Structure 1
Amino acid sequence: MSYSNKYIFATLPRTQRGQPIVLGGDPKGKNFLYTNGNSVIIRNIENPAISDIYTEHSCATNVAKYSPSGFYIASGDQSGKVRIWDTVNKEHLLKNEFQPIGGPIKDISWSPDSQRMVVVGEGRERFGHVFMAETGTSVGEISGQSKPINSADFRPARPFRIVTGSEDNTIGVFEGPPFKFKMTKQDHTRFVQAVRYSPNGSHFASAGFDGKVFLYDGASADLVGEIGSPAHKGGVYGVAWKPDGKQLLTASGDKTCRLWDVETKSLVSEFVMGTQVEDQQVSCLWQGQYLLTVSLSGFINYLDVNNPDKPIRIVKGHNKPITVLTLSPGRETIYTGSHDGFVTTWNAKTGENDRIQGAGHGNQINGMKAVDGSVYTCGIDDSLKQIDTEGRKYAGIDVKLGSQPRGMDVTGDRVVVATVKEISVLQDGRKASSLPVDYEPSCVSIHEESGEVAVGGTADNKVHVYKLTGASLAHKQELEHLGPITDCAYSPDSQYLVACDANRKVILYRLPEYQLAHNKEWGFHNARVNCVAWSPNSLLVASGSLDTTIIIWSIQNPAKHTIIKNAHPQSQITRIAWLDDETLVSVGQDCNTKLWTVAAI
């Protein structure tokens, strides 16, 4: 059986209050870059559903930038490492790895000939370094500022200059090569968060947490003037130049972005991005005709110069680990829920997405199931809620549960929820019955035809089978495993139950007697199996594991299986589902949703 990755619905940028993030732009104008966790995400600017992910860093990445040639990307991480890797090959071959500073890297800038680079951040012995990209040889030093440096930029024309913005409220100016400290500019009264040269190098702009934006001469670094007075009511997190150098875009914590005329230093237009804390703007990028900004929520906004009231597009999604996944009954819509309680709806064909509105769980979602017109969710706020799929908002049922829910399933008008202490049956929006248990359930699956309910136990390593009659449950039998049960699912054709456990096993039972379906042991995972899912034709089972792999198992040929290695690199698989008999969806701790094409065994 062969497989290929069809789409990656990528994670949003990881944001933090009070921390600017850096977007990188492709000199060819096709893609843009940002980071989340250990990953660097490369996204197509025209169609953000097309994306690629680089996962070779061993700790959290902070910034990634294309070389002006477009052939390489340099990415910097928390430990002070810079990796320079190839953009042309799908494997992104590593060209070089250097350790220019001994702490988090906050910004990277390449010289216009792609030969040199400056990196800045929070090193222990220095806050920045300039070196050759080929060899790592030093070409000067970044000194003269007394606190971590947040931003740096290389002048894109000769004579070469480097400017840096620091938390000591100063801008450092360096001449070279070799680069030597020339002066500091002390016009800001708070942290300097961004310094950027205009595309032709004639000017550079600086932005700070004092809400001010200053313009300087590109060669002499003389102050030309202040833009706005001040530019924003809140801290300015980012500045981006129009490709012709005539306008400047600024992004601020006051929840606005503003467009400025550089010559007159006057406001051209204002983009009010919202009224909530998560609408603070923490980054911006101007690439070709696209003006991108990032909200504190992680949403990526495409601004409309002709209509400042409404972005052309908002790319939504998750930037925290995804914990649950379900499909609409027709399988054309994917629903994902995350560790921070947000639910996102995705068009399975185009990747277009939206976030479910309304009062959700506010914390981790542990169970989710879509039925006609509704999606039911249960979370660790000990409640079961209902989403109206048409209105894309929480509406209707909101039931308080006796303890923390671990899994759920729905049949007709009944919802069966397994909590830490009991199994509850809900009907017509209220709790109809509850059965106390002592084995700490982990998952629930309902057999549509017989009304049997399988519940996995973590304390006793058993699958407990119940008979659901009306709203009451009666215990029927138990199936023993060698490790805590993590997930179970009845097949669509009602012939089988599959269960997986923390002992790395996937076990298939034939109904109605729950006998082992074959003597082949499905045990090729290297760690706990987290989830299982059936293909619609009931011929294939997919399992996802803590070991980052997905395995596809054949019912007709139990000895055969296909392993998708590193399906979510450096991240466990949390949930999987089949869109059709040849397409699999997986989600993981890396916040990405991936679609796989699987050819038959």
Structure 2
Amino acid sequence: MSYSNKYIFTALPRTQRGQPIVLGGDPKGKNFLYTNGNSVIIRNIENPAISDVYTEHSCAAIVAKYSPSGFYIASGDQAGKVRIWDTVNKEHLLKNEFQPIGGPVKDISWSPDSQRMVVVGEGRERFGHVFMAETGTSVGEISGQSKSINSCDFRPARPFRIVTGCEDNTIGVFEGPPFKFKMTKQDHTRFVQAVRYSPSGCHFASAGFDGKVFIYDGSSADLIGEIGSPAHKGGVYAVAWKPDGTQVLTASGDKTCKLWDVETRSVITEFVMGSQVEDQQVSCLWQGQYLLSVSLSGFINYLDVSNPNKHIRILKGHNKPITVLCLSPDRKKIYTGSHDGFISHWDSETGENDRIQGVGHGNQINGMKIIGNSLYTCGIDDSVKQVDISSNNYTSADIKLDSQPRGMDVKDDTIITASVKEISVLQGGRKVTSLPVAYEPSCVSINSTHPDVAVGGTLDNKLAHNKEWGFHNARVNTVAWSPNSQLVASGSLDTTIIIWSVLNPTKHTIIKNAHPQSQITRLAWLDDGTLVSVGQDCNTKIWNITAS
């Protein structure tokens, strides 16, 4: 047997309230970058279903930026390490790894010649550093600011300058190379969250949690003026320049993005993104003709300047670990549920997706099954809920259980749940009977032809039918039969998927690091040669499996 990865329906950016995130853009305008967990995610901006995932960081990656040449990406992580890796080879070969600061990296910027870079963040001994990308040799110091530095940018023209935005409310200005502290600008009254030079380097903009945005001269750093009065009613998390430098886009915690004319410093367009906390805007990027923003929910919004009330596109999905998976009866639609209680449905061919609406579990979903036109779910809020899949909305059905469910199955009008303390039978929207158990169930399955129920517990890393298959190195989390019953796929805590042949039990294929640094949580077969996997990396992967 052989396998190949067909699609990756990638995770959304990992967000946190009160924390801006940084989007990176390909200098050729083709791709954009962000991070989630240990992964750096590269997506095609015109067709976001085309994506790639870099997974070589040993802890959470925070920021990633393309070099101006486009040949390399530098990504920084929670431990202060910066990895520089190539974009040309599929394997993304590592060029260099440095540790410029001793804490989380918050921003990275390359010099326009792709030879130097500045890295800033929460370092213990220093909050930033400038060095040669080829050797790591220091080419200056980032000093003169007393707290964590949130943002940095290299002037894209000579004479070279570096600006930094700090949590001591100041903007640092540095001249070089070698780069030395020149001055601080103290126009902001709260944290400075973003500093960005215009594409020509004539100006730079700063944005802060005081809701203010300022424009400065790119060479002298003289203040030119304030945009708006103030620009936003809430903190400003990000600012992005139009390629010709005549306009800037701002993203704010007041749940709006705004487009500004730089010369007049007046608003051109306001994008009202919603009214919920999840609609706060934590990042933005201007990439060629595309204006992107990121909501606190993780959704990526393609803004339409000609129609600010309707987005061109919204990329949805998950930014928390995926815990459950099931397929529509025709196997053309994939349903995934996550640790934070959200359910998404995906077109298995295109990756187009949307989110189930209504009042759901609000926390981890442990079981999910479709029967007819209904999707049933159980969660760690000790309840079973129902979704009408024709309208993609939760119904009012809400059955309470006496303990936390670990799995469920449905047949006709009967729902069986395997909970921590009992096996329950649900019918007609209520619990009709239960069986206390002395062990802790982990899964349940109803026989399709006989009135039997199988309940599973711990199997110690082994997959058992009439034979014992024991090639996993850790707990087996999920097992799935192919529609023709000739293949069995198993997914494990050890990050691997194993495809087993029933006709030839000695034959098996191991997909190593199927979800790198992430356990496999669920598997399902779209057809006899196509497997779906989900994991704690928040990604959904489609695999071609060829039996030989």
Could you say whether these structures have the same fold, taking a TM-score greater than 0.5 normalized by the shorter chain as the test? Answer: yes
Task: Give the gaps of 5 or more residues in structure 1.
Answer: 458-483, 485-500, 509-515
Which residues in structure 2 correspond to 1:424-463 (within 5 Å)? 424-457=424-457
Please point out which of 505, 515, 520 is paired with 2:462.
Answer: 505
User: 1:95 maps to which residue?
Assistant: 95
Offset of 1:433 from its aligned partner?
Answer: 2.0
| Residue in 1 that maps onto 2:18 | 18
Q: Runs of 4+ in structure 1 displaced over 6 angstroms?
A: none
Please, which of 489, 503, 509 is the counterpart of residue 556 of structure 1? 503
Q: Are 1:166 and 2:166 matched, yes or no?
A: yes
From 480, 486, 493, give the equivalent of 1:539: 486
TM-score, normalized by length of structure 1?
A: 0.90
2: CA distance between counterparts of 1:75 and 1:436?
51
Q: Which residue of 2 aligns with 1:180?
A: 180
Structure 2 counterpart of 1:527:
474
1:477 matched residue in structure 2:
none
Residue 194 (structure 1) aligns with? 194
Is 1:589 aligned to 2:536, yes or no?
Answer: yes
Deviation at 1:413, TM superposition (A): 1.2
State the AA in 2 paired with 1:528.
R
Alignment of 1:99-138 (within 5 A): 99-138=99-138
Pick 1 or 2: higher relative contact order, CA cutoff 8 A, min separation 6: 2
Q: Aligned partners of 1:107 and 1:401: how far apart in 2?
A: 47
Aligned partner of 1:35 in structure 2 is: 35
Report the equivalent of 1:494: none
- SS in structure 1 of the partner of residue 5 of structure 2: strand
> 1:451-508 deviations in whole A, cap 9, x for unaligned?
2111113xxxxxxxxxxxxxxxxxxxxxxxxxx1xxxxxxxxxxxxxxxx2x221112
* Amino acid across the alignment from 1:582: G
Counterpart CA distance in 1 for 2:404 and 2:539 is: 26
Amino acid at match of 1:141: E
How much has 1:599 moved relative to structure 2?
0.4
1:560-579 residue CA offsets vs partner (Å, 9 max, x unmatched): 00000000000000100001
Q: In the TM superposition, what is the alpha-carbon distance from 1:432 to its structure 2 partner?
A: 2.2
Distance 1:580 1:550 in 2: 17
- The equivalences for 1:318-357 within 5 A come to 318-357=318-357
Tell me the CA shift for residue 46 of structure 1.
1.0
Point out where structure 2 has 5 or more consecutive residues left out of the alignment: none
Q: Secondary structure in 2 aligned to 1:440? A: coil
Identity %: 83
Partner of 2:520: 573
Secondary structure of 1:143's partner? Answer: coil
Give CA-to-partner distance per residue, 1:31-53, whole Å, 9 cap, x none.
10001111101111111111111
Give the whole-Å Cα distance in 1 for the aligned partners of 2:57 and 2:464. Answer: 35
Q: Residues 188-587 of structure 1 correspond to what in structure 2 (within 5 A)? A: 188-457=188-457, 484=458, 501=459, 503-508=460-465, 516=466, 518=467, 521-587=468-534
Quote the offset at 1:398 in angstroms: 1.1
| Distance in 1, Cα, partners of 2:382 & 2:79 | 39
1:396 positional shift: 4.0
Letter in 2 for 1:554: S
Deviation at 1:344, TM superposition (A): 0.8
Q: CA deviation at 1:397?
A: 2.1
Tell me, what secondary structure is at the counterpart of 1:559?
coil
Distance in 1, Cα, partners of 2:163 & 2:339: 39
Hey, what does 1:465 align to over in structure 2? Answer: none
Deviates more, 1:438-447 or 1:92-101: 438-447
Q: Which string of whole-angstrom CA distances, capped at 9 and with x for unpartnered residues, describes residues 223-258 of structure 1?
A: 000011100000000000001111100000000000
Amino acid at match of 1:507: A
Distance 1:430 1:27 in 2: 58
Paired positions, count:
548
SS in 1 for 2:278: helix
Q: Give the secondary-structure state (helix, strand or coil) at the position aligned to 1:579.
A: strand
Root-mean-square deviation (Å): 0.8
Deviation at 1:421, TM superposition (A): 1.7
2:132 and 2:421 mapped to 1: Cα distance?
Answer: 61
Deviations 1:109-158 (A, max 9, x none): 00000000000011111110000000001111111111110000000011
- Secondary structure class of the residue paired with 2:97: strand
Alignment pair present for 1:82 and 2:82: yes
Secondary structure of the corresponding residue to residue 147 of structure 2: coil
**What is the distance in 2 between the residues matched to 1:533 and 1:11?**
23
